[in-house]
Amino acid sequence: MNKKLVMLFVLGGAFLASGPTVHAQAAASSSAAAGSQKASDQDLQLLREDIRSKKKQLIAANLILTDAEATKFWPVYDQYTADLVKINDQKYALIKEYADAWGTMTDAQALGYVNRWLAVDQQVAALRSKYVPIVNQVLPGKKTATFFQLDRRVQMMIDIQLASQLPLVQAQDK
């Protein structure tokens, strides 16, 4: 598996998270990526920024806020996203490592990847737990819950797309 595939599943995540208005754009980007030999770190960074932008748009469209709530919420959201990006940096580095090692991965490496993925998942859960009371300071309970539902749904869509594109470790032995 090479970095070209990493680019494709990041694009796939963008495709899933973006909504129907940009599906044609994502498909065109996927075609262009397929012709590329490698996904550069800069390309991946741009894609991740695009995903974050589309996620913010999706949340804005589905989280009904008053003007006063929006004024208080969006700076908190931006800080939450900045903190989440730091964790996701680890996730994307792990995916790239996995892609590079796939085909020659040892049992110890495979176990290490599983443990590191679990640690990243735990960090995301801890971050959400940390931010629930922070968001609840600027939004009422139902809107706080709605935000975290939306956040999880979008992240799960991206994670499902990523996971479905990563070959199983055992498949490298075939």
For residue 75, which phi and psi values (nearest 5 degrees)? -65, -35
Got the DSSP string for 154-173?
A: HHHHHHHHHHHHSPPGGGGG
- The mean pLDDT value for 71-80 works out to 98
CB of 139 closer than 8 Å to CB of 73: yes
* pLDDT exceeds cutoff 90 at 69: yes
Percent pLDDT > 90 in the chain is: 45
* Between 96 and 17, residue with greater pLDDT: 96
pLDDT digits (tens, 9 = 90+) for 88-104: 999 888 988 888 888 88
Helix axes 3-18, 41-62, angle to 10 degrees: 10
The residue range of the domain holding 164 is 3-173
Q: Are 68 and 35 in contact (CB under 8 A)?
A: no
Report yes or no: 29 and 11 within 8 Å, Cβ to Cβ: yes
* Helix axes of 141-165 and 3-18: crossing angle, nearest 10 degrees: 150
Structure tokens that stand for 168 in this block: 């199983």
3-state helix, strand, coil in the chain (%, to 5): 85, 0, 15
Taking residues 71-93, report their average pLDDT: 94
**pLDDT by residue (tens digit) across 128-163?**
999 999 999 999 999 999 999 999 999 898 888 888
Q: What is the pLDDT of residues 48-59, one digit of tens each?
A: 777 888 899 999
Instruction: Give the residue from 131, 125, 135 showing the smallest Cα distance to 87.
Output: 125
- Tell me how many domains the chain contains: 1
**What are the contacts of 89-93 at 24+ separation with CB within 8 A?**
90/116, 90/120, 90/123, 91/117, 91/120, 92/10, 92/44, 92/48
* pTM of structure: 0.73
SS (H, E, C) 90-103: HHHHHHHHHHHHCC
